[in-house]
Structures are given as structure tokens and as C-alpha cells.
Amino acid sequence: MKDLIVTSYIIYLPIAIILTLLVARIFFKNSLIFMVDIFRGRKEMADSTNHLFKVGFYLMTLGFALSIMKIYERGVSQHKDVFEILSTKVGILSVFLGIMVFFNLYLLFRGKKRTSEKRMQQAMFKQAQVDTGISQ
């Protein structure tokens, strides 16, 4: 029974790590363009912030993956139990990864909206100055 639990851990850990790395790589590669827009073309700032978001994503996701790793002996008596437990754990991790991706998307779109609103206010202010004949 203990051998089956250790086998489960040996299978689960690489799956959890690879899944996390894959999702992070895809998401943060594609989110950089939003960051550049949010930071008004300042690529260094966008890269830095994107990297910090990625580190946070890794820490939260791997922390979650490790926290659900425990397998209780009473639940594992045959090979079929190993597959059932692993599918449940990988499924829960996948749902968590999806939630993290949507949360990060929410943050990106919120940042983009604020940047757009600020640009609109600045454009309106400049237009008002032109309309009234006030110059800087």
C-alpha cells in the first residue's frame, strides 16, 4: 500500500510541475502585449511586472499543488485507486490553474481599462485647452 502511495507521488509531482510550467509559459508569453499597452510602451516596466506576476503564479499554483498532494493510506489498496486519486488531484489542479488564468486576465483587463480611461481624460483635457485657447 505504501508503495502505491509513493508511486502516486512520483507520478503526480511531475504532472503538477509540467502543467504549471506549461500554463504559465503560454499565459505570460501572451500577456506581455497587454502589459506593454498598460505601461504605455515602456517595455522594461512591462517585462518586470509580467515577470513578478509569473513568479506569483508559480508560487500560488505550486503551493496549491503541494497542499493537495497528500494521499491517505485507507484510500489506496489497488492500482485502480492510484489512477482515480491521480485523476482527481490533476483535475482539481487544472481547475485551480484555470481560475488563476481568469484571475490574471481580470487584472490585465482592469489595468487596460484604467489606462484607456486615463488616456481618454488626458485627450479630453487637451481638447478642452485647444477649444478654450489655453496653452501650456
Q: Structurally, how many domains does the chain consist of? A: 1
Phi, psi at 6, each rounded to 5°:
-65, -40
pLDDT tens digit sequence for 50-72: 999 999 999 999 999 999 998 88
Domain extent for 6 = 2-132
- Show Cβ contacts of residue 1 under 8 Å, excluding neighbours closer than 6 positions: 73, 76, 77
Q: Does the pLDDT at position 135 exceed 70?
A: no
Angle separating helix axes 79-132 and 2-38, nearest 10 degrees: 10
Q: Quick one: CA torsion of 123, 125, 126, 131, rounded to 10 degrees?
A: 120
pTM attached to this predicted model: 0.77
Q: Does the pLDDT at position 133 exceed 90?
A: no
Q: Residue 71: which of 5, 1, 116 has the closest Cα?
A: 5
